[in-house]
Amino acid sequence: MLAYIIRRLVYGVITLLALSMIVFSLLQMTGGGPLDRLKLNPRMGPYIDTLTELWGLDQPAWRQYLTWLKNYTTPETIALQNVLPVIAIGAAIGLTVLMAKFMKSQWQGLLVVGVWVLALWIAISNTTIKFNWGTSFSGAGDVWNLVFSRAGATFRLGLTALTLALIIGVPLGIYQAVRQYSFFDQLGTVGAFFAFSTPIFIIGIGLQIVLALYLERWTGVKIFYVTGMNSPGYSDLSAIGKLVDTVQHLVLPAVSIALISLAGYARFQRSSMLEVLHSDYLRTAKAKGLPRRKVIVKHALRNAMIPVVTLVSLDLAFMIGGAIITESIFGWPGIGRLYILAITTIDYPLVMAIVMVIGMGLVLMNIIADILYGVLDPRVRYD
Amino acid sequence: MTETLLKVEDLRTYFSTEEGVVRAVDGISFELAPGERRGIVGESGSGKSVTAMSIMRLIEPPAGEIVTGTIEFRGENLLMLGDDEMQKIRGSKIAMIFQDPMTALNPVYTIGDQLMETIILHQGVSAAQARDLAIQALEDVQIPNPEGKLSEYPHQFSGGMRQRVMIAMGLSCNPDLLIADEPTTALDVTTQAQIMNLMLKLAAERDTAVLLITHDLGVVAGFCDTVQVMYAGGIVEFGTADEVFHNPQHPYTWGLLGSMTRLDEVHKKRLHSIAGAPPSVIDLPIGCRFKPRCEFAIDKCGKVLPMLQDVEGGSQRVACHRAEELDLKTFTVTDDEHEEVAS
């Protein structure tokens, strides 16, 4: 198990290297460089040469890439704020070494990964660490600070949407399968079809009009906000006021993203559950005399969840991709909007940084999903 | 009949499909004594499995439905029981073993988990006691190292081993009736006999009646006390294994027997086959259902559905208009022309 995780991590690093090369090449191939926009401005004339030299654009592409790679991966500053990171990482290493000998079951594998994620999170949040990811060409400032100030907002939106989609979509699909062809099932099917086939900008704008604009007009109270993450006077609010304000801003964009995923999960869960419900081992469970509830909850659910894990892990990419549009509609200060800015201005350091952050997230999620398979399905073995 | 364990009367189980109503089981009646080993034989689609599923009440509406009939088990009509009461009977009083052991066990739970689940459910014992009983149950079905096998998953077992587990699970609560739906069909020929012997030995030890569904006449001949032959949703012949095999009364049974390979006879001729295919149970012929394929059919067969009737001198019963006048023993089965030897 440990060998498997390490192997997957090594593959992950190779994948990310390949990704960075491809994206870097693509950026080089785009028509016009990052300076073209500035060249249009006659007053910039004297500075173009300076900028070219400063950003290293006069160097051959391979040297630019190597410089970027070196800077990207070397910490610029690293300082411990307290002793917590040392303890966390030490504990994680200790647990891994301790469990390496007995690590047979996937549960333990998942536990180790979980402990490492937690340890790294403690380590990073208690350390002043900064990588030199360069300065944005479009004048947005230091890339490291920029990405991490925006990541929180995207994370908040994505996680809320994913949670909503999971806690509604999965049970919905299960219920539909158990009550196949009932009125509710048909309704769910039609609803899912609509949600799935409506473009996200229609859903987003539709929600804004109905749930924010009309609702405020009818009730006279502002219930949901259509833009931003917080109100201007946010810092003066009480703790409860802050929470309410956050929720008021979060609901509409999160629901927009969640609706589409939710429809997908419900459809997928329904068909996977139906397949299991008609399986021989479920007949065995019924023949044993188990109550219907236990037949479904114990014998059907776990089997029916296996295919859905794939969908959810793949969906994380969609969450980030979908967030680009949603963030623009709702003025959400997340990575998605930053990404659009970076691409339209051919901002090399910013594009690279965002692509790599998304890539790292996907690689990690894939590893976790693969281990989760093993937890759910004992037939999956990692040797 | 002295004592009755199971009494099925005029059972009709229909399935509604887009093509029409499938009369899978259409008015069958039979009784089963405690400890009796009954074979149910018939072709695919003759209603054998649906009969079993009806007794277990595992036919699920809206697809299928028990339209009429009674299934009395120890004097209690199962069709009148509530879901809770039926759940108490399933697995504890009436157990069932299915055809394909490869898919009959849940792949994500251990053997021990699935065995103990049944024991805890019906016997109300603690987990530790259930564990001991599960080990005992695996030992009974001759699985080596039963204690270690408890924590293994079904995919680590071979087909024969899985069917042993199913038998252990079925018999773990000492049921009065064990329904085995083609338990050896999916297995190797070499393991078939082992599994059958084991299952019937254990059933006999527990005085459990067995309802063995099969299309293998050899299995019935070797293991069953009594046989009922089913054709297109109805019972066409019933009797002790001895009677039915040596003195078949129904042309269908006679044809089936003629299609068997026998080791004690030197075959000079090709094996017999019954011409045609079973009728569609959606669109059943009027009169005897076997008539289109029957070489002894007369006009009456096409008009009146024959009922099961006692055959003189024995326990045999048959549903054939010509049973009395025909002595099928004296006919020789040949491949192309069936010459009547004595007529």
| B40 has a pLDDT exceeding 90 | yes
Among B57, B58, B81, B87, the residue to mutate for chain A (most A Cβ within 10 A): B87
The whole-angstrom separation of Cα A333 and Cα A234 is: 15
Check CB contact under 8 Å for B117 and A377.
no
Identity of residue B32: L
Phi, psi (degrees; rounded to nearest 5) at B181: -95, 100
Query: Token digits for B307?
Result: 């009922």
Which pLDDT belongs to residue B1? Answer: 47
Displacement of CA A316 from its chain's centroid (Å): 5
Secondary structure class of B177 (helix, strand, coil): strand
pLDDT value of residue B343? 37
| Cα distances (Å, whole numbers) of residue A196 to A192, A211, A262, B305 | 6, 20, 9, 56
Minimal Cα distance from A290: which residue of B? B87
Chain A hits for B167, CB-CB cut-off 8 Å, are none
- Is the Cβ pair A286, B108 closer than 8 Å? no
Residue A18 has pLDDT above 80, yes or no: yes
The pLDDT, as a whole number, for residue B210 is 94
Average pLDDT over residues A195-220: 91
Shortest distance, CA B236 to any CA of chain A (angstroms): 28
For A275-291, the pLDDT digits (tens) are 999 999 999 999 999 99
Residue contact A303–B106, C-beta within 8 A: yes
pLDDT of residue A125: 80
The answer to whether B106 contacts A283, with C-beta atoms less than 8 Å apart, is: no
User: Considering chain B, what is the average pLDDT of its residues?
Assistant: 86
Interface list for chain B against chain A, based on CB atoms closer than 8 Å:
56, 58, 62, 83-84, 86-92, 95-96, 98, 100, 103-110, 117-118, 121-122, 153, 155, 166, 169
Going from the C-alpha of A315 to that of each of A155, A165, A248, A352, B224, the distances in angstroms are 14, 11, 25, 22, 57
- The residue among A268, A302, A314, A267 whose CA lies nearest residue A162 is A314
Strand-pair partners of B21 = B16
User: What was the pLDDT predicted at A321?
Assistant: 57
Burial call B263-291: b when 16+ CB within 10 Å, e when fewer:
eeeeeeeeebebeeebbebeeeeebbbbb
Distance from CA of B68 to the nearest CA of A (A): 22
Bridge-based pairing state of the strands B309-310 and A75-80: unpaired
Cα separation, B40 vs A25, whole angstroms: 73
Min Cα–Cα distance to chain B from A290, Å: 6
- Would you state the structure tokens that stand for residue B52, as one six-digit string? 């079993």
Pairing of β B209-214 and β B37-41: parallel
Chain A positions in Cβ-Cβ contact with residue B122 (cut-off 8 Å) = 289
Pairing relation of β-strands B6-16 and B21-32?
antiparallel
**For an interface test with A, which of B99, B106, B151 has the most A Cβ atoms less than 10 Å from its Cβ?**
B106
Q: Which residues of B touch A299 (CB under 8 A)?
A: 106, 109
The CATH number of A141-345, from 1.10.3720.10, 1.10.287.3510, 1.20.1440.230, 3.40.630.10, is 1.10.3720.10
- In angstroms, the separation between the Cα of residue A297 and the nearest Cα of chain B is 13
- The strand pair at A75-80 and B21-32 is best described as unpaired
Q: What is the pLDDT of residues A45-90, one digit of tens each?
A: 788 888 888 888 888 889 999 999 998 888 888 888 888 888 888 8
Residues of A in contact with B108 (CB under 8 A): 302-303, 376-378
CA separation (Å) from B81 to B74, B90, B93? 13, 12, 14
Distance CA A31, CA A40 (A): 15
Give the model confidence (pLDDT) of A98-134 as tens digits: 777 665 566 777 788 888 888 888 888 888 888 888 8
Coil, strand or helix: which one is B66? strand
CB contact under 8 A, B90 and A279: no
Mean pLDDT over each residue of chain A, to the nearest integer: 87
Alpha-carbon dihedral sign for residues A58, A60, A62, A66: negative
Q: What share of chain B is helix, strand, coil (3-state, %, to 5)?
A: 35, 20, 45
Measured distance between the N- and C-terminal CA atoms of chain A, rounded to whole angstroms:
6
Contact residues, chain B, for A286 at CB < 8 Å: 58, 90
Q: What is the dihedral of CA A291, A297, A302, A303, to 10 degrees?
A: 50
Give the right CATH number for B6-37+55-229 from 3.40.50.150, 3.40.50.300, 3.40.50.1390, 2.40.30.40: 3.40.50.300
Residue A309: pLDDT band by 50, 70, 90 thresholds? Answer: confident
Q: In this complex, which of B83, B90, B104 lies closest to A280 when CB atoms are compared?
A: B104
Q: Say what the pLDDT of residue B340 is.
A: 43
Give the residue extent of every domain in chain B: 6-37+55-229, 231-330
Supply the pLDDT for residue B315.
Answer: 84
Cross-chain residue pair A280–B100, CB shorter than 8 Å: yes
CA proximity to A51, closest of A62, A64, A39? A39
Contact state of B104 with A288 under an 8 Å Cβ cutoff: no
User: With an 8 Å Cβ cutoff, are A289 and B106 in contact?
Assistant: no
pTM attached to this predicted model: 0.80
Residues B41-58 pLDDT 10s: 988 888 899 999 999 999
Asked if residue A318 lies in contact with residue A311, where contact means CB atoms within 8 angstroms, the answer is no
User: Is B87's CB within 8 Å of A303's CB?
Assistant: no
Residue B262 binned pLDDT confidence (cut-offs 50, 70, 90): low
Highest mean pLDDT among A202-211, B179-188, B266-275: A202-211
Q: Report which of residues A141 and A173 the model is more confident about.
A: A173
B209-214 and B177-181 as β-strands: parallel, antiparallel, unpaired? parallel
**Choosing among A281, A309, A373, A380, which should be mutated to test the B contact, i.e. which has the most B CBs within 10 A?**
A281
Cβ-contact A213, A236 below 8 angstroms: no
Nearest CA in chain A to B96: A287
Among the residues of chain A, which ranges form H helices?
A: 2-29, 36-39, 45-54, 61-73, 84-100, 106-125, 143-178, 183-197, 200-207, 215-219, 239-277, 280-287, 292-294, 301-329, 335-344, 348-376
Residue B90 to residue A288, Cβ atoms within 8 A:
yes
End-to-end CA separation in angstroms for chain B: 36
Show Cβ contacts of residue A156 under 8 Å, excluding neighbours closer than 6 positions.
A229, A250
Tokens of B160: 């024969």
Contact A290 B121 (CB under 8 A): yes
Contact assignment for B107 to A376 by CB distance below 8 Å? no
Picking from B95, B80, B256, the residue whose alpha carbon sits closest to that of residue B167 is B95
Give the C-alpha separation, B134 to B165, whole Å: 10
What are the tens digits of pLDDT across the range B94-122?
999 998 888 999 999 999 999 999 999 99
Q: Please give the pLDDT value at position A247.
A: 92
* pLDDT for res A322: 55
The pLDDT of residue B336 is above 50: no
**ipTM of the prediction:** 0.86
